[in-house]
C-alpha cells in the first residue's frame, strides 16, 4: 500500500541535492540536508527545510559514513532517504541499512545492486539474461591477460571490476604493452575502489557510448525512457550528453530498450537505472554496465519525455505503481546537456577550485540550468568540481545546437577557470555539429577544442585580459562622450568584457 512521505533526507550535496530538494518541495515534502565542514554555506543547505552537520570535509569522514547519515535521518524524523548520485547511491550495504533502520531508500533494492555492482558479475548476469556483452575474460596475471587478449584479438581494454568513471582503465594495443598496463590498472583500481581486480574486454574502436534509461516499480512493471548519447568524453568521463542519438534509428533504440528492460527484470530491479552500451560502427551494441541510480544526465530525458524522474523515484518508493506503460511514453524534440565544470581544459581538464566571484546563468526559451553554486560560494577541492548542468531543448537537433551556442554565450563565471570556452568551441566544431562523433572525438581534435589558437599559455591569458580591458575602456569612453552630447550612449558592461576575455582565453 502506498504511503506518503512527510520528510526526506538527501544524502548528498551540491547540484544534485538542490535538484532533489526542488522536486520534494513541489510535492509538499520537507527536505533535510546534510553538510560537511566544507559545505556549511552551500546552496543545498540554504534551500533545505532543515540541515545537519555530518563531519569533516573528506567524503570518507562525512558523506560516505552510513552511520552518520542514518543518525541524522533518525534525529530529523525522516521517512526516506534519496541518495542522489555518487557517494552512497550505489552502495547495497547502505540501501539495506536504510531498510533495517525503518527508513525507505529511494532507489533500487540492495539485492539488485549486489548483482550489478561488480562489472564482471554484471557481465555474467546479463549474458544469462540474453543481453549482448563485449567479448572478454577474467585473468589473474598479466601473462594470462596476454593469452586471453591474443585469443580475443588486440586491441583490448583493461577495466577495474569494482569501478567506473574512467579509473582503472587502460587500452592495450599489443602484447608488449600488457605488463605495464596491467600493473597500472590494478594499482589505480586498488587506490580508488579498494579492489585491484581487473578484467579485459575486446576494444571496440570508434564506438558511440549510448545508454538506455529504465524505470520500474515494486510490482515488476518496467519501461525504458529512450536513449542518451554520451560519447563526448574526456578521460573516459562524460562532458556532453544528448537525446536522441544522432547515430541511432528509432528501431535500434527500441531494440536496445527492450533488451535493457529484459536485463533489469532479470535482477528484480525497480526505481531509476541506466544500461550503458557501446554502439559499434556496424550497428551492433554491447552491454558495458548498469548504473543503479539516477544519472547525472537525467535532465535530457526529462526534457524530451516531460517526466520528472526524481518525482517518479519518490512515488515508486512510496509504493505506488508506474502511472504509465511503454506505449504511453514518447520522445519529443532534441535535448542536449553540457556539464559546466570548474576545471582547466588546457591542463588536461584538471580541477580549478576556488571562490566564484560572479555568476550569471543563461535563460530564455528552452533553457534549463541545474546548478548548485552562487556568487561568493567556494568550489571545494574535496569534491567533484561540477558547477551546473546546462541543458537545452528544441524541436530539432539543429535548433538545439544553436540554442546551446546562445546559452553558452550568456553563461558568465569569474574567479575560477571553467570549461565554458571549450564547450563553445565544441558547439562550433563541424564534426560535432553534424553529429559525426564517437568516444575518441575529443582526443583526436584536442588542439582545435582545447589548445590556444595563437598565443600559448599565460601569454594568451594576459593578452585576452588586456584586450578586454582596453575594449571596455574604449567603449565606456565613447559612451560617456555620447552622453555629453545628449545622445543615447552605452558603456560596455563589465560582464561583457569578462566574457570576451574568457572567449579569447580559450
Q: Which of 35-39, 151-155, 499-503 has the highest mean pLDDT?
A: 35-39
Residue 165 banded pLDDT, cuts 50, 70, 90 = low
Specify whether the CB–CB gap between 465 and 500 falls below 8 A.
no
Name the residue among 316, 331, 328 with its Cα closest to residue 269.
316
Q: Which CATH fold topology does 208-445 show?
A: D-amino Acid Aminotransferase; Chain A, domain 1 (3.30.470)
pLDDT of residue 496: 41
Cis amide bond preceding 358, omega within 30: no
Q: What is the pLDDT of residues 389-442, one digit of tens each?
A: 999 999 999 999 999 999 999 999 999 999 999 999 999 999 999 999 999 999
More confident call, 49 vs 188: 49
With a cut of 60, say whether residue 114 has pLDDT above it: yes
Model confidence over 37-68: pLDDT tens digits?
Answer: 999 999 999 999 999 999 999 999 999 999 99
> What would the grid cell of residue 253 be?
533504440
pLDDT at 472: 40
Q: What percent of the chain has pLDDT over 70?
A: 88
Which pLDDT does position 168 carry in this prediction?
87
Q: Would you call 5 helix, strand, or coil by DSSP?
A: coil
DSSP 391-442: EEEESSHHHHHHHHHHHHHH-EEESS--SHHHHHHHTT-HHHHTT---TTHH
Grid-cell match 560596455, residue found: 492
pLDDT for position 119: 78
The pLDDT assigned to 193 comes to: 81
As a dihedral over the C-alpha atoms of residue 489, residue 493, residue 498, residue 504, rounded to 10 degrees, the angle is: -30
Grid cell for residue 506: 580559450
Q: What is the dihedral of CA 269, 273, 278, 279, to 10 degrees?
A: 100
So what's the pLDDT on residue 1?
60
Domain-wise residue ranges, the chain: 7-106, 135-202, 208-445, 457-505
* CA–CA–CA angle 62, 65, 69 (5° rounding): 90
Question: Once rounded to an integer, what is the mean pLDDT over residues 134-162?
Answer: 92
Q: How many CB atoms lie within 10 A of CB 434?
A: 11
Helices (H), 318-396: none
Mean pLDDT of the chain: 89
* 255-295 pLDDT per residue, tens: 999 999 999 999 999 999 999 999 999 999 999 899 999 99
Name beta bridge partners: 344.
350
Q: Count CA atoms within 13 Å of residue 362 on its CB side.
A: 24
| The predicted structure's pLDDT at residue 161 | 84
Residue 284 corresponds to which cell in the numbers above?
A: 551492433
Angle between helices 309-317 and 14-26 (to 10 degrees): 70
Among this protein's residues, is 208 annotated catalytic? no
Q: Residue 166 — pLDDT band, cuts 50, 70, 90?
A: confident
> In the predicted model, what is the mean pLDDT of residues 236-243?
95
Alpha carbons 181 and 187: distance in angstroms, whole number:
10
Q: Regarding predicted confidence, which is higher, 281 or 161? A: 281
Topology of domain 135-202 in CATH is Dna Ligase; domain 1 (3.30.1490)
String of b and e for 385-401 (b: at least 16 CB within 10 Å)?
bbbbbbbbbbeebeebb
Q: pLDDT at position 64, please?
A: 97
Instruction: Look up the pTM and report it.
Output: 0.84
C-alpha cell at 181: 598496463
How long, in residues, is the chain? 506
pLDDT of residue 46: 98
Architecture of the 7-106 domain: 3-Layer(aba) Sandwich (3.40)
- Residue bearing the bigger pLDDT, 496 or 313: 313
Q: Rounded mean pLDDT of 202-212?
A: 94
Find the catalytic residue in 186, 208, 293, 339: 293
> pLDDT band for position 91 (50/70/90)?
very high
Q: Give dist(CA 213, CA 75) in Å, integer.
A: 35
**What's the chain's Rg over C-alpha atoms?**
24
Amino acid at each position: 500500500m502506498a504511503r506518503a512521505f512527510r520528510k526526506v533526507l538527501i544524502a548528498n550535496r551540491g547540484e544534485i541535492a538542490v535538484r532533489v530538494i526542488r522536486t520534494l518541495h513541489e510535492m509538499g515534502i520537507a527536505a533535510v540536508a546534510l553538510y560537511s565542514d566544507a559545505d556549511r554555506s552551500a546552496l543545498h543547505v540554504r534551500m533545505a527545510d532543515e540541515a545537519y552537520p555530518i563531519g569533516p570535509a573528506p567524503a570518507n569522514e562525512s558523506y560516505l559514513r552510513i552511520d552518520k547519515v542514518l543518525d541524522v535521518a533518525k534525529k530529523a524524523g525522516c521517512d526516506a532517504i534519496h541518495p542522489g548520485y555518487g557517494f552512497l547511491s550505489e552502495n547495497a550495504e547502505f540501501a539495506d541499512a536504510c531498510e533495517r533502520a525503518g527508513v525507505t531508500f529511494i532507489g533500487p533494492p540492495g539485492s539488485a545492486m549486489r548483482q550489478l555492482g561488480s562489472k564482471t558479475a554484471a557481465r555474467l548476469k546479463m549474458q544469462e539474461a540474453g543481453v549482448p556483452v563485449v567479448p572478454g575474460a577474467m585473468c589473474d596475471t598479466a601473462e594470462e591477460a596476454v593469452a586471453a587478449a591474443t585469443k580475443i584479438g588486440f586491441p583490448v581494454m583493461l577495466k577495474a571490476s569494482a569501478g567506473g568513471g574512467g579509473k582503472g582503465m587502460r587500452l592495450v594495443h599489443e602484447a608488449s604493452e600488457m605488463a605495464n598496463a596491467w600493473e597500472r590498472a590494478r594499482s589505480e583500481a586498488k587506490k580508488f575502489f579498494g579492489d585491484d581486480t581487473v578484467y579485459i574486454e575486446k576494444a571496440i574502436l570508434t564506438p558511440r557510448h549510448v545508454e538506455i534509461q529504465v524505470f520500474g516499480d515494486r510490482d515488476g512493471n518496467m519501461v525504458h525512457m529512450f536513449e542518451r548519447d554520451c560519447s563526448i568524453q574526456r578521460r573516459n568521463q562524460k562532458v556532453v550528453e544528448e537525446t536522441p542519438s544522432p547515430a541511432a534509428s528509432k528501431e535500434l533504440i527500441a531494440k536496445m530498450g527492450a533488451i535493457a528492460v529484459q536485463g533489469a527484470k532479470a535482477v528484480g530491479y525497480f526505481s531509476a537505472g541506466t544500461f550503458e552500451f557501446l554502439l559499434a560502427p556496424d550497428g551492433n551494441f554491447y552491454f558495458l554496465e548498469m548504473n543503479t541510480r539516477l544519472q547525472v544526465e537525467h535532465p535530457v530525458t526529462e526534457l524530451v519525455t516531460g517526466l520528472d524522474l526524481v518525482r517518479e523515484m519518490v512515488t515508486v518508493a512510496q509504493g505506488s505503481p508506474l502511472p504509465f506503460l511503454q506505449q504511453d511514453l514518447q520522445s519529443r524534440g532534441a535535448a542536449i546537456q553540457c556539464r559546466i565544470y570548474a576545471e582547466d581544459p588546457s591542463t588536461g581538464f584538471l580541477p580549478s577550485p576556488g571562490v566564484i566571484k560572479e555568476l550569471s546563468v543563461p535563460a530564455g526559451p528552452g533553457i534549463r540550468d541545474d546548478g548548485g553554486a552562487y556568487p561568493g560560494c567556494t568550489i571545494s577541492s574535496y569534491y567533484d568540481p561540477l558547477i551546473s548542468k546546462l541543458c537545452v531543448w528544441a524541436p530539432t537537433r539543429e535548433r538545439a545546437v544553436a540554442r546551446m551556442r546562445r546559452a553558452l554565450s550568456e553563461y558568465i563565471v569569474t574567479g575560477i577557470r571553467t570549461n565554458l570556452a571549450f564547450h563553445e568551441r565544441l558547439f562550433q566544431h563541424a564534426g560535432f555539429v553534424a553529429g559525426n562523433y564517437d568516444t575518441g572525438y575529443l582526443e583526436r581534435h584536442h588542439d582545435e577544442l582545447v589548445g590556444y589558437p595563437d598565443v600559448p599559455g599565460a601569454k594568451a591569458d594576459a593578452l585576452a585580459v588586456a584586450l578586454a580591458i582596453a575594449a571596455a575602456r574604449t567603449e565606456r569612453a565613447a559612451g560617456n562622450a555620447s552622453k555629453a552630447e545628449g545622445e543615447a550612449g552605452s558603456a560596455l558592461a563589465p560582464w561583457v568584457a569578462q566574457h570576451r576575455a574568457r572567449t579569447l582565453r580559450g
